[in-house]
Amino acid sequence: MTRRGFLPTLALAAAALLLAGCQSEPEGPREAPPLVGADLDGQLRDISDHAGDVIVVNTWASWCAPCRDEMPVLAAAQESLQDEGFQVMGINVRDRPESAARLVEETGVPFPSIVDPDGTLAVEWGVLGMPQTFVVDRQGHIVDHVFGAVDQAWVESTVEPLVRGVPEAEEDRP
């Protein structure tokens, strides 16, 4: 095979391999995977300790600028909704402990973050990049998955109605 014919063939083979590995998200909610590990302070955390709550699982790292941008939004949601059965849990992915601790201190993050130095937990959750945020309903199912930074409008339209038990049909009423 000539060099000119090899490169397009290689490109097609690579594309076929990538497409073969791609799977669409299953329809409907899926069960949240386990999430257990030590947080930034070394305390063992387990998502199952919050069974029955609405849980937002957020993957982040100190080197991720959009992660930094969304931290105050998630912190405010934790503060305002925690008494209504809501919890944010972070997964700090492939980060240096001192950098992660500094970001938590700078932003005043009130929620725990499990340390994931090799990215194993993130992979189990299906994370492809950061930030990503998952919403787990009171039955333990992932009902929303956001690629990229979340904002206050997302908290108001997605998280608050779920926490407060507002049916979707009522959300859009004036």
For the chain, the structural domain boundaries read: 34-163
Quick one: average pLDDT of 118-122?
97
Q: For the domain covering 34-163, report its CATH number.
A: 3.40.30.10
Return the DSSP state at 126.
Answer: T
Nearest to 109 by CA among 139, 133, 129, 79: 79
Contact 90, 11 (CB under 8 A): no
Contact 58, 28 (CB under 8 A): no
Query: To which residue do tokens 């690629």 refer?
Result: 147
pLDDT at 166: 76
pLDDT at 169: 43
The dihedral formed by the CA atoms of 60, 62, 63 and 64, expressed in degrees to the nearest 10: 40
DSSP of 39-101, one letter per residue? BTTS-EEEGGGGTTSEEEEEEE-TT-HHHHHHHHHHHHHHHHHGGGTEEEEEEEES--HHHHH
pLDDT tens digits, residue range 37-50? 999 999 999 999 99
Q: Is a pLDDT exceeding 50 seen at residue 76?
A: yes
pLDDT at 29: 77
Rg (CA), the chain: 19
Whole-prediction pTM value? 0.81
Mean pLDDT of the chain: 86
Whole-number Å distance between alpha carbons of 58 and 70: 10
